[in-house]
Amino acid sequence: MTTDLPFDSLYRHGFARVAVAVPRVRVADPTYNAERTIALARRAADEGAILVVFPELGISSYTADDLFHQDALQDGVDEALARIVEESRDISAVLLVGAPMRVEGKLFNCAIAVHNGQVLGAVPKSYLPTYREYYEKRQFAAAREVLVEYVTIAGQRVPFGSELLFAATNLPGFVMHIEICEDGWVPVPPSGFGALAGATVLVNLSASNSVIGKADYRRQLCGGHSARFIAAYLYSAAGNGESTTDLAWDGQAVICENGDLLAEGDRFTDEEQVLFTDLDLQRIAADRLRTNSFADNVHDHRERLSRFRRIEMELPIPTGPMPLHRTIERFPYVPADPATRHERCAEVHHIQVAGLATRLQATGMQHLVIGISGGLDSTQALVVAAKTMDRLGLPRSNVLAYTMPGFATSSRTLNDARRLMAALGTTASEIDIKPSSLQMLRDLGHPAADGEAVYDIAYENVQAGERTSHLFRLANQHNALVVGTGDLSELALGWCTFGVGDHMSHYNVNGSVPKSLIRYLILWSVETGEFGAEADAVLRSILTTEISPELVPSTDGNGDEPAQSSEAKVGPYELQDFHLYYLLRFGYRPSRIAFMAQHAWGDATTGRWPELTPDDKRNAYDLPTIKYWLGEFLRRFVQTSQFKRSTLPNGPKVGSGGSLSPRGDWRAPSDASARAWLDELDRNVPVEAAAPIVART
C-alpha cells in the first residue's frame, strides 16, 4: 500500500489504471501515425492511465507488406519514434508502440516501451505466422534470431529481447511482459513464461484481421490467458486505416483479469478508441499467493525463467484523489446480471441437494428432521430437503418439519412456518418449547423463571438449546438426520449458539451459503414456480420479514412482528457479506476493503443492482458507517468466533468465495487477537467511525 497517497486514490490501494488505444492509421505514413499515437496517449494520460497499449506495427501500419524493406519507410519510422520519445516527456504514461526495427541486418517486428523521454526497452515478436493470409517471414526475423542484448533507438542504448520484464519501483505488484499478436496464439505463449517470471500485466500488441467468429475466439483467448496465468491481459488490434486490399480490420480492444472480461471496445468503428479500466494488482497477488501449484510451475521452468531481464521503471502515479474506474459489485456472492444469477442459484441449489442426498444415501436413512422458524435460513434448508426427497424418489412427507415457538416467537413467523411446511408437502409438527425452557431456567435459578424481565445470554440460549435438543432426540426417535440451517454469514460473525444451538446438526446444507445469497435462492424458487402459488406467497412473506433470532420478547409490542433485529447487533448482512468475501477470499487489509466498500455501497443510485431488489431496500453506506461495521466484523471474525467454526458439522462447499469449514478452506486459531486488523483500520481509514468500535481485548 502506498500510504503517501490520499485514501481516495485507487493507486493507494493496489489498483492501476491502464488503457488500450486503437488509433486511425495511414498505410506506410509514420508521421501521421505518430501524431495519432501521441494524441491518444495524451488523452489516456489525462484520464489517469499509467500505461497505454497500441496495436502491432502501428507506427508503420501492419499492412505495408514489401514496403517494409524500403529504406524511406524505415527512416520515417525511426524519425517518428524519436518524436514519440521526445513528446513522451510531458505525457504521464508508459507507451507501448509497435514498429519495425532493423538490427544487425535483420528486420524485427517490435514492441517499444517509452516513458518520460526514455526508451525502456524493445521486444521482438517471437512467432511469425506464415500460413493462410499471413506472410510475415517474408519480411521479418523471429526473436530467436536475436544475437544482441542492446540496440539503439532514438539515440539511446536500450535492452532488446523477448525475455524482458518491466517492473514498477513505486507500485508494488506492477510487472509487465510484452508479446505480439501470434505469440499469444501458440500452444505455449511467451506470456506464460513471463507470468511465471513474475509479470502480472501481460500485454499483446496485435494486428489480427477480422473474419467470422474470430472476435469471439480472441476474447476467449485473452480471458483464458488471464485466468491460466493469474494475470491481467491487455490486447489491442489494428483498426481503421489498415489496407483492405485483401483483409478487413476491426480494431478489437480487450482487457481481462483473472479470467474476467473487464472492458471491451467497439469493433469496426470510424472513431479512434481509448479503452480504460483499473486493474486489481492485489487480487492477482492474492490468487498467486494461495495457488501453490503456480509456484511449483515456476520451479519446473526455473532454467528458462532465469534468462529474463528485469527493467525497473518509476510509474507516473497521480498524486491527488483518483476514484475507481471499475465495477465492484455490491453483492460479490450474487451476480447482478439476471441470467448469470439464475445460473448461479441453480448451481448452488443443485450442490446443496446433491450433498444432502449423498449423505442420506450413505447412512441408509430415509427421513430428515428440520426446525422451521419462518426465517430465511430454515426456509432455504427446507426447500433443499424437499427437493432432496424428490431426487431420491421418496415422498416429501419423509421430511419431518417442526416449528417450535418460544417466548419471543412472533405470530407472523409462526404463521409463515406453518404455511410453508404445508405448502411444501412435508410432515408438519409443532412443539411448544416454553415449558421445557422454563424448567431449565428454574433449574438454573434464573430470575426469568419467576417472571423477571432478565433477558441475558443464558435466557436466549436456553431456548436455542431446547430447540436443538428436541431435534436431535426426534432424529433418534425416527431414525433420521438433523438438517442444519445456519449460514456462512452467521458463522463468520459468530452469530450462532455453540454446540447445543443452531451451530450443530448432522449435516448443514447452508454452511457455506451467505445470507445475501440465501435471499436470492429463495427468490429463485419463487421465479421457477415449481412449488405452486401458496408456497410462492409464503416465500415472499418470509423475504420481507425482519431477520431476528426471536429470543427476547417485546416489551411494548403485541408480538405480531419479531422484536429483535440481528442486523442491529451484528451489522447489515449485505455489507458484512461484502467484508467477508474480500477478507476470506483474498486476505485484503481492512483499509482496502473499506475503500472498495465505499466505492460499491457509497451511492445507491450508481452501479448495478440485482433487479429483484426493491427500491426501498437499495441501501447506501457512508465511509464512517462502513468503518464501524467493518470493525465489528473484524473483531467477531478474527477474535471471538473461530472456536465455533473449528467444530462445524459436515456440509457442501458451494462457491469459490470460500467456506469456513476447518476441513476445507479455513483453518485459524481460536485464540487470535484482532488488534493488527483493527489498528490498520483505525490508522488508514481517515474518518471517525459512526459509533465507537468495540474495545480491543
Q: How far is CA 397 from CA 206, 394, 438, 538, in A?
A: 63, 8, 32, 19
Distances in Å between the Cα of 414 and the Cα atoms of 184, 198, 550 are: 61, 58, 11
Question: 681 — phi, psi (to 5°)?
Answer: -60, -50
Cα 571 to Cα 568: distance, rounded to the nearest angstrom: 6
User: Is 387 in the active site?
Assistant: no
Identify the active-site residue in 110, 181, 222, 345: 181
* Active-site hit among 56, 87, 490, 632: 56
* C-alpha to C-alpha distance for 458 and 293, rounded to whole angstroms: 48
HSE of 332, CA atoms in CB hemisphere, 13 A:
22
Q: 256 an active-site residue?
A: no
Place of cell 489517469: 48
CA 134 from chain centre, in angstroms, equals 39
Beta strand 309-313 with 164-168 is: parallel
* Per-residue cell: 290: 494461495
Listing DSSP states for 40-51 in one string gives HHHHHHHTT-SE
Please write down the HEC assignment for all residues of 450-483.
Answer: HCCCCCCHHHHHHHHHHHHHHHHHHHHHHCEEEE
- Judge whether 644 counts as a catalytic residue: no
Contact criterion met (CB below 8 Å) for 345 and 352: no
Q: What is the CA radius of gyration of the chain?
A: 30
Catalytic-role residue among 125, 387, 627, 644:
125
- Pairing type for strands 201-205 and 232-236 reads parallel
In sequence order, the 6+-apart residues with CB closer than 8 A to the CB of 500 are 461, 464, 465, 468, 469
Q: Which residues are catalytic?
A: 56, 125, 181
